[in-house]
Every structure is written in C-alpha cells, then in structure tokens.
Structure 1
Amino acid sequence: MEQSENKPAWWKEAIVYQIYPRSFQDSNEDGIGDLRGIISRLDYVKSLGVNVIWLNPICASPNDDNGYDISDYRQIMGDFGTMEDFDLLLKEIHARNMRLVLDLVVNHSSDEHPWFREARTSRSNAYYSYYHWWPVEQGRPPLRLSFFDEKGDAWRYNPRTKSYYLHYFSRKQPDLNWENPKVRQEMYAMMKFWLEKGIDGFRMDSISYISKDIDFPEIDQTQYPGIFEYYAQGPRLHEYLHEMNRTVWSKYDIMTVGEGSGETADQLALFVEPDREELNMLYGFGPAQVRNTTKPDSPYTGIPYSLIALKKMFTLWDQAVGKGWPSIYLGNHDQPRMLSRFGNDSAEYREISAKMLATFLLTMRGTPYWYAGDEIGMSNIKFKCIEDYNDINTKNLYKQIEEKGGNISAFLEEQKQIARDNARTPFQWDKSLYAGFSAVKPWLKVNPDYGQVNVEVQEKAPLSVLNYFRKLVKIRQSYTTLIYGKYVLLDPANKKVYAYLREKEREKFLITLNFSPKTAYITPGMDLRKARMILSNYEERKEKNVCRRIKLRPYEANIWKWEEAD
C-alpha cells in the first residue's frame, strides 16, 4: 500500500521517552522510584530533546504485576506518592514544553479492586457481571491459558459463587467484562477523569484482548497454536475502540497508542486508519518475535537472528498502516535491553552498537518510543539465580519448570537474555552507591557496570552514547523529511546491513546501518558525490569511494544527506 501524505500532528513529530517509575529515581529513601524522583530529573529528560514522557502504571495497586493490577483507577500508588505529587509532576512537565502519556490498563483489574471484591461475594451482586465467570453447573471451563499463572490455567475457582473467573494474566488480575455496557461507561468516565487533569494521552496495555466471545467456545489449537493470536480476535474489539474514540478521545487533542499483542500486519490498518476513528498508533511484538524465533541468515554474520526478517517485518508494518501512522521501538519494560538483544553489550562494541541502534530508531518513519536508560547504553543485568528476580512472569515460569522436573539451569540461562527484569534495573545516574538511584538498597539490584555506564560519566564525554543520542534528536527535529518522508528499503537481501532512504519533495537521506560485528558492504545504487555525511557513529569516518560501494565497520551507522534529489 502506498505511503500517504500524512497530515501533521504533534504526536507524529514526538519522541516518546518511556519511564518505568519504580526504577527511575527514589526521592524518599525507600528503595523505590517515585513521582517526586521523576520531578527531580525532569531537567535531564528535557536536555535529551524528547518531548513526550510515557509513564508505566502509577495507579493504586497491590503490585502483583508491578502496577498492571489496578485496585483504584483514580488514586496514586502509595509507593509512588500522592495525587498532589502527580499534579505537580504534570505541571512541571508542561512547564518544560513536554507532554505526559499514562499507561491505561483496562483489560483487567486487580482482584483487590472494590468491584471484584464485591463480585466474588455472590452471583446476585451487581458487580458480578463486571467480570467473566463460568458456573460450576456447566462443568469444567473450556481451555484458556494464562500468561502469568504458575499453573498455566486462565480460570480460577471462587468458592462463594461456585464459579470460575477468567484471568488471561495473573490470578490476581481478573479480566473485566467489556460486553457489559456499565463496565465500558466506568472506563470512559475514568479516562475523562485523567484527561480533565490535563494529561496528553494514553498508552493502552493489552488493548487487543478486551473483547471476548462470551460463549467461550473450545479453542481449535490447530488453528490457533498461539494464545496471543486467539485472544486478539475478539468479535467486538473495533466496535469498542471506535466507541472509546467517539465518547472520549475525540473530545481532546491527545495521543492514543495501543499495545497490539497478537495482532499481525494485515490487521494494522483496522486500528490506525484515520477514517476508522480508533487509535493513532498501534505497536506489536514483531521485533521480539524476530529476535526470539529466527535463525541467523548466515553463520558468518555474527548476528544471532535474521536481519533479513527484521527488515522485512519493519517494512511490512510501515506499509500496513495505510493512511495511518507507524510506531517504532526496539525495547521497553516488557523486553530485555535493546543493546543486549539487537546490538552487542561486550566492552568492545557496547558504545558503537548502542549508537547504531539509536540511529535506526531516530531515522525511521513513525513515532519512536525510547526506553529510559538506552540513551546511556544500559544492558541486561543477567541475574544468575531466581532469588534475584522480581518479575511474576519469570518466577511463575520457574515454578512450572521446577514442578515438571525441567531443566532449571537452561531456563535461568535463557532468562539472562529475555527476562523482563533486565530492563527494570534502577537507572544509572552516577558512580555512587546504588548508581545515584537511591540512598538505600533498591527494590531490584543495580547492574554492576554502573561505575562505567552512567549519566555523570557520559555528560562529560563529548563522544559518549548519551551525547550522540542528543545529536540524533536534533537532526531528526531539524528535518521534516526524517519525520514525514517516505521510507524506502534498499538491498533487502543484505545479511549484515540495514539501509534505507527517507525522501520528501527535493530532500533525501540515506541511512546505512551495519548490524554485524564484522565488516560489511552496501552498494546503494546512487551517486553519493552530491551527498554529505551529516552523522556517523565512527567520528573519524573518511568519505572515500562514495560513488560506489560503501564499506562499513562493525556496527557502523551513517546518515547521508542530499540538498536536492536527483
């Protein structure tokens, strides 16, 4: 599908900086990051050049899943502070000409939410219908699997009602019944509550799961081998998203982005085509799927996954938005650190590959989502024992494998690469004890490399990953072509290099990225004698033989610019 001429919008021009509040800055010496801590670091965030902050959940929660189990949608989690702290945070963000987007968790609540506490007391309770239940007289519930439950079953028995409640995630996260119009109206009123406070949008967690087939037919596992895909195909999903837009979002100038778990490229336009009036953007799990499931294109590339598949995936999603708008990311709180996953966290290549990945994210078409800490090259902590982990997903998977007599050592080795806690370690501010995050022992261990990898060190180093990131941000914001320009993939069969053009009217950019720890070559098929290199992650780059083949050193990234297209 042809890329459309997109109407300008502030959220298309934004660079979104994701903050995991628990891990950013502790202000009251309890080892947990909080809102006052974020306020104290806003000048740093502003110095990066980013213009939107996305906060992971801050609502009241018993923290079974670090805030994604909400017990009160209109209160602040005690660990993070008070509503007065939030109001001050919002005021200070806006005073710096930045915007704030909150995580919206509406597929499920906490089992400690007043609604569920009431619902589980009696089938005749008014809140019983706020959740999904399967009465015992109908026999065992049909197969549904849970992402986080240690037993793997998404149905949990409730003795007082003699029925099972549905929980796609933890047993402490019962799924809300969106088929009940009262639930939807409660959710819309809650959204308005936050929007009236002045926030600038929502990132919607697991939004593709809110619609359920309430007959709960048996799953044909030959047709749906993955539960992500099955759960994402609820019959009324788009009806609900359109209703949300019409009832709430259309009344405000906001950004809406959904986590499209289980969605594929051919479904993307249904969410983001402007005429459908649903979401501004949707992101899927494509990067993680490529990294986890594909084999190297060649044993000689040094890349542990298929770069060809990664290029194909990003290109397909770029085309699939139709007249909508793409989102771009490589890491977040649900993924390990992007440096360890897509770059190289060895001492030799950490800085150069971190810069290469930043070049990719900030030159692609679409709104980039940047995870806090990646701008200094934070990497996976790679815990050695289960006691170091906090994440419910890792701990419950460990229990499952242990009960089945599985290979615990292999599991722990795998978690060093893929566990979510790799991205949740405290932010590394300086060389002091606990990396300047807290004066006391943090809720999660600090990465031992914090003495070398921290903001204080990199602020003073002109060629640091941090200062390279700032240069990239300025370049992106200086040229609208790098925002609205067309994206054209070059040399798709190249096993080491990701190269593409960004074009708009008479301006053109060539981006060449070596994803490999080995020397690579690219023949862009154009005369570069009229181009100039405006940025390279190798500062001593010499422009030789630029009219033909380009030689790229390990993890080398270059941006070339034409003043006019040929």
Structure 2
Amino acid sequence: MTEWWRGGVIYQVYPRSFQDSNGDGVGDLPGIIARLDHIARLGVDCIWLSPITQSPQADMGYDVSDYREVDRLFGSLHDFDSLVEQAHARGLKVIMDQVVSHTSDQHPWFEESRLNRTNAKADWYVWADPLPDGSPPNNWPAVFGGRAWEWNPTRGQYYLHNFLASQPDLNFHNPDVQQAVLDVMRFWLERGIDGFRLDTVNYYFHDKKLRSNPANKVKNEHLPYAVNPYDMQEHKFSKSQPENVDFLRRVRALLNQYPGTTSVGEVGDSHKSVKLMAEYTSGGDTLHMCYGFDFLGPDFTAAHFRKCIEQFFKAGPDGWPCWSFSNHDVPRHMTRWARFSQSPAELARQAAALVLSLKGSVCLYQGEELGLPETDLLFEELTDPRGIRFWPEDKGRDGCRTPIPWEQGEAPNGFTSGTPWLPVKPAQSVLNVAGQDADPNSTLAFYRAILAWRKSHPALREGSIAFLKTGEPILAFRRTLGDASLLCVFNLSSQAREVELLSLPRGTEFETVSQNAALSGKTLTLGANGYAMVALPATSKAKVRYG
C-alpha cells in the first residue's frame, strides 16, 4: 500500500492566526480543536502545526526556549494531546514544526554555552574568535539583516546566528547536539505525532573552516538592486553543507521506528533548492519530502513550472517533492500572481487545480481555500522583525499571517472576542468562511470539490508526469497510472487562447473541475485562467499543439 504522505495533501495551520479560544487575540490549540471540522471537510490528509513550543516569540515561535513544552500562549501539553487525538478521530494526521537549526538565546543550552569556553555545552553552538582587528571571522550575513555574528564579551568570541541575534545556531558538527535534537523528536513521536516539518533543513551544518562566501553572480530579475544584502552572496559555506545528508539519514532512521510517520524539509536556497530537495529525499533513507521556494515567488509561467518539476525528478528520480504556492513566509499567491488574472476567483481555482495536479505531495496554507489575498498593513501594525527592518521595499511576512475570518459581519469575524494580534481588514473579512460555506459557487466549495476529485483519481497521487511541448502561456502535461491517464492543459494568462487537441477519443468530455474551457472539433478554447482536465486511456495518443 502506498504511504499516506506520498501524494497526500497537507494543510498548514499557523496557530497564532487560526482561532483564538480565550480572547487574548492570539490563536491557540483549543481554538484549532474547535475548528477541526473545517479542516476535515476540506478533504486534506494532514495538518502541519507551525511552532507551538515554548518561546519568547522574538520570531513568532521560531526561536525555541524549551523543545518539550507547549508555550502557554497556545495552551498546554494536555491541549496538544487532545488535538492529536481529535484530529486522528477525524482521519487527519498531524505533523509539527521542529526548529532545530537554532534555538532562542533564552534556551538553557545557550545560557550554559555562553558562560565560558570550558562548560559542558561550550561547543553546542557555533563560536569563533575575532579577527586581529576585532571583526567577525568571515563575511556571512544574517537573513534578517546585518552580520551573522554577535559578540559575546563573557567568552570573548562571536557566535553564529543565521537569523536574529537572539537565535544562535546550534553546532551540528558536535555529535552530542545531533543526539539531543533526535531525543527531542523522539519525545514528540512518543506523544503520537505523525511526523515533522523541519524548518530551514539545509542550515544545520556550516563550513568548519568558516570560509567567507563568494559574491552572488546571479542577478535579481525583479529588482535592479538587493533589498537585503543577504541576497548579494552565494551561500556556499554558511549552509547546505554535504555533512547534512548523513544527519538526515539519522532522522529517517528514527522515524522508521514509528511506522506511518513522515518528514518534510524546508530548503531555503534561492538558486539550487530543487537540486537539494532531490538530494535530501533520494535513496529511501533520507527525508520523505522536501519543499523549496521555487513556486513561492513571482514566476507564473509554463516554462518555470515545467523546468522545476523536470529538474527535480531528473536529479532524484526516487525523491519526492511537496509543492506549495503559499505559506507563512511569503506574500499570498493571490496577490503575487494577481497581474496574471482579471478575476480573483478564477485565479484561485486555477492555482488550486494546478498545484493539486502536479506530481508530488501538496501543502495548502490556511486561507488558500478562501482565496485570501495578502493583507495590506501599515508600518505601525507590523510585528515581523524582517518587515520592520526592510520596510517599505520588503514589508515582511505579517501580510500573509493575519487571522482567518470565520463569521460574517464585522472584523475580526469570529477569530477572537478580543483584539487580534494582527488586524483583519475588509479585503479578508468579506471572504469569511461562513459566507462561502453558504455559497455553492464559492472558492471554499471549489476546494472541497477538487480535493474530493483528486482522491478519485489515483494517477494524481501516484502517477507519472509527462509534459507536452507547448509555447507560453500554455502548460500541458499528462498524469498516468496503469491504464488511466489525465490530460491537464492550463492557460496561465488573463487572455483567451486556442489550443489544438489532436487524436482525442470520440466522445471525450472535460472533468467537472475544469474552468473556462470549450471544445469545438479539435479546437480547445481556454478563457482567462482557463484549464481543461480530460480523462483518457493510457494508450491514447492525444496531443496538444500550441505555439
């Protein structure tokens, strides 16, 4: 039997913004439990919980101060156990974030490590002596701005932080650190978790020689300059080191002791993420799945989608990707790709149909099923340290993290009885769950329908993918499993296009989830953001001609 995660659909819950149960304005675990039926009705396979462990919240939970405790902001270990139990009762798996490339500077490990150079955890973090002039040991920058090195006068050394200075990097070259991290994972596996989403999975190891990074020779296609100096380097030595793969094998060996569990790694690398995704999931003894940021940017072309998918399976034929169009780190795709559509509703349906028909697993971010756009926030409303630092060129990640609008009426639409930690604005409020639930033609209704349709076509979960030669803006491919095949043709533009379909079997009809598609003889007319799904026998010689 195929593993549940292979071709499965994961629904990402950002706990702060899902549902607040106690009126403090921040979502929590009891709130998620209260809304589990919404997730179950969608027809997804699994919930991914963004960080819930104890944290000072400098980076919204991605700075952990206790790996084995639920932050009181979100509830308790009892609430966690109840959530897993009630999700399982609804047929939903649950995976959770493991943020182990770094900790909070308030973690006891770091509090001990920073004391001196001889304590038991002195080598648990990445420490380095200054250069003779007192400057840091190399040129590595931090993702959130400035140098990736912070001075500690007690030790007379710098420590590495790839993100905030309050997020010191663990030293994975130390076997004790690796074991401590695996012990943390085992703690949660023993509580019944179904696996992990591994944050910044390619940041675990650094170059032991601390060599400086070279300049980035790949220019930004969308800006004449770099908003963040981090993008001006090729991060050859500060991350994505070869030692990483051996540790991932240790993670997989641990998960193999808990049948049915899975892993999905986040690969943060702008120029080689597809290659790393393949490397980190190949061989059957590394991670189960990985995702990168290739589909989380501005590109919305047939060539881009085809190139990434073909590159992945060429680099790792036995690897497995997890594709997504939105998450908690990037502007929502409804806003990123708005220029390619005249109708938000049609773009929402096309994006759903596309990501759910590609070869691989899928991650949907909370609110995608409502067609939520990015929230336009004022500077004084921001909480994200990245947005505060790089405003206004980079407005940060708060715009995709605003609360889910549940009920009809005024904001915050049932999310909280108090003041929400981020505001619910009119563009999001009007797309509330209750209103869409009552509308059979809503984006929410479509998501439920297409997820059910996907489950009825095993070729979409397990089948091969073969792209057909077409020009822009037409993307066409076939998904095939056994004697069943699906022809998928997408018009990735806001203008109608005519495509020739050759050698179609007589009486061919479109699948019900198709949009803005009409067939007259051999001519397929795809309207703005139109697409056609056609079920065919695997032996069919049907072809697509365009351009």
Using the TM superposition, give the Cα deviation of residue 535 of structure 1 relative to its aligned residue in structure 2, in angstroms: 2.1
Which whole-Å deviations, capped at 9, do the CAs of 1:56-103 have from their partners, x for residues lacking one?
Answer: 010000011111000000000111011111111111011111110001
3-state SS of paired residue (2:509): strand
- The one of 309, 319, 322 aligned to 2:317: 322
1:271 paired with 2:280, answer yes
Q: In the aligned structure 1, how far is the partner of 2:513 from the partner of 2:76? A: 45
The structure in which a higher percent of residues are helix is 1
Residue in 2 aligned with 1:142? Answer: 138
What is the match of residue 530 of structure 2? 556
Partner of 2:288: 280
Q: CA deviation at 1:195?
A: 0.2
Deviations 1:240-266 (A, max 9, x none): 111222245444421111111124434
Q: Do structure 1's residue 514 and structure 2's residue 522 form an aligned pair?
A: no
TM-score by length of 1: 0.88
2:267 maps to amino acid: G
| Counterpart secondary structure, 1:256 | strand
Aligned to 1:366: 360
How far, CA to CA, are the matches of 1:136 and 1:273 in structure 2? 39
User: Aligned pair 1:444/2:418, yes or no?
Assistant: no
Partner residue, 2:412: 434
> Is this contact kept in 2: 1:119–1:125, CA < 8 A?
yes
| Aligned-partner residue type, residue 447 of structure 1 | K
Q: CA deviation at 1:340?
A: 1.3
Aligned ranges 1:86-97 → 2 under 5 Å: 86-97=80-91
How far apart are the structure 2 equivalents of 1:536 and 1:126?
Answer: 60
Compute the displacement of 1:306 (Å). Answer: 4.2
Structure 1, residues 171-207: CA drift from partner, whole Å, max 9, x if none?
A: 0100001111111111111110000001000010011
Residues 451, 136 of structure 1: alpha-carbon distance in 2 compared, 3 angstrom cutoff: closer
Q: Does 1:335 align with 2:330?
A: yes
Amino acid in the other structure paired with 1:548: K
1:69–1:108 CA contact under 8 A, matched in 2: yes
Q: In 2, distance between residues paired with 1:100 and 1:251? A: 14
1:318 positional shift = 4.0
8 Å Cα contact 1:76-1:83 kept in structure 2: yes
Gaps spanning 5+ residues in structure 2: where? 219-231, 541-547
In the alignment, the residues of structure 2 paired with residue 395 and residue 516 of structure 1 have an alpha-carbon distance, to the nearest angstrom, of 34
- Residues 536/251 of structure 1: CA separation in 2 closer, same or farther (3 Å cut): closer
Query: What is the distance in 2 between the residues matched to 1:306 and 1:248?
Result: 37
From 223, 248, 255, the equivalent of 1:241 is 248
Distance (whole Å) between structure 1 residues aligned to residue 425 and residue 316 of structure 2: 38
- Whether the 8 Å contact between 2:3 and 2:260 is mirrored in structure 1 is no
Deviation string, structure 1 residues 430-486 (Cα, Å, up to 9, x no partner)? 223302111111001113123421111111111111111111111111111111111
Is residue 491–residue 528 contact of structure 2 (8 Å, CA) maintained in 1? yes
CA contact (8 A) 2:124 2:177 kept: yes
Contact 2:279 2:319 in 1 (8 A): no
1:220 aligns with 2:229: no
**Cα RMSD, aligned residues only:** 2.1
Change (3 A) 1:343 1:358: farther
The code of the aligned residue for 1:477 comes to K
**3-state SS in 2 of match to 1:161:** coil
Residue 72 of structure 2 corresponds to residue 78 of structure 1: yes
Query: Distance between the aligned counterparts of 1:100 and 1:242, measured in 2?
Result: 22
1:145/1:227 contact within 8 Å kept? no
Q: Is the 8 A contact 2:265 2:289 kept in 1?
A: yes
Q: Distance in 1 between matches of 2:380 and 2:313?
A: 41
Q: Is the 8 A contact 2:255 2:261 kept in 1?
A: no
**Kept after mapping to 2: 8 A contact 1:376/1:453:** yes
Distance 1:119 1:128 in 2: 4
Q: How many residues align?
A: 522
Deviation at 1:343, TM superposition (A): 4.4
Aligned to 2:382: 389
| Alpha-carbon distance in structure 1 between the residues aligned to 2:18 and 2:166 | 26
Per-residue deviation, 1:335 = 1.3
The worse-fitting range, judged by mean Cα deviation, of 240-249 and 104-113 is 240-249
CA distance in 1, matches of 2:23, 2:537: 53
**Is the Cα–Cα contact under 8 Å of residues 530 and 562 in structure 1 kept in the other structure?**
no
Give the C-alpha shift of residue 125 in structure 1: 1.9
Q: What is the aligned partner in structure 2 of residue 532 from structure 1?
A: 509
The answer to whether the 8 Å contact 1:14/1:50 transfers is: yes
1:472 paired residue number: 450
AA of the residue aligned to 1:522: V
TM-score normalised per structure 2? 0.91
Query: For residues 359-398 of structure 1, what are the alpha-carbon distances to aligned partners after superposition, in whole Å with 9 as ceiling and x for unaligned?
Result: 1111111111001110010001122x32122111111223
Residue in structure 2 matched with residue 131 of structure 1 by the alignment: 125
Query: Which region of structure 1 is more displaced relative to structure 2, 510-519 or 163-172?
Result: 510-519
Q: 1:59, 1:70 within 8 Å by CA — same for their partners in 2?
A: yes
Deviations 1:81-136 (A, max 9, x none): 11111111111011111110001111000001011111112122222211011124
Output the CA distance in 1 between the equivalents of 2:303 and 2:504. 25
8 A Cα contact 2:211 2:237, kept in partner: no
Correspondence for 2:475 among 468, 481, 498: 498
Give me the whole-angstrom Cα distance separating, in 1, the residues matched to 2:255 and 2:4.
19
**Alignment-mate amino acid for residue 418 of structure 2:** V
Q: 483-492 or 435-444, which moves further after superposition?
A: 483-492
Partner of 1:301: none
Measure, in 2, the Cα distance between the counterparts of 1:47 and 1:313.
Answer: 31
CA contact (8 A) 1:148 1:393 kept: yes
Comparing 225-234 and 122-131, the one that deviates more = 225-234
Cα distance in 2 for partners of 1:375, 1:562 equals 28
Hey, what's the Cα distance between the residues in 2 that align with 1:68 and 1:249?
A: 26
Alpha-carbon distance in 1 for matches of 2:131, 2:514: 66
User: What is the SS of the residue equivalent to 1:316?
Assistant: helix
User: 1:164 and 1:458 mapped to 2: Cα distance?
Assistant: 53
> Would you say the 8 A contact 1:54–1:203 is kept in 2?
yes
Match of 1:42 among 36, 55, 67: 36
8 A Cα contact 1:21 1:35, kept in partner: yes
Aligned to 1:300: none
Q: For the structure 1 residues 105 and 136, does the alpha-carbon distance in structure 2 shift closer, same or farther, using more than 3 Å as the test?
A: same
Moved more, 165-174 or 315-324: 315-324
**Contact 1:339–1:345 under 8 Å retained in 2:** no
| Structure 1: stretches of 5+ with no match in the other structure | 1-6, 295-304, 399-407
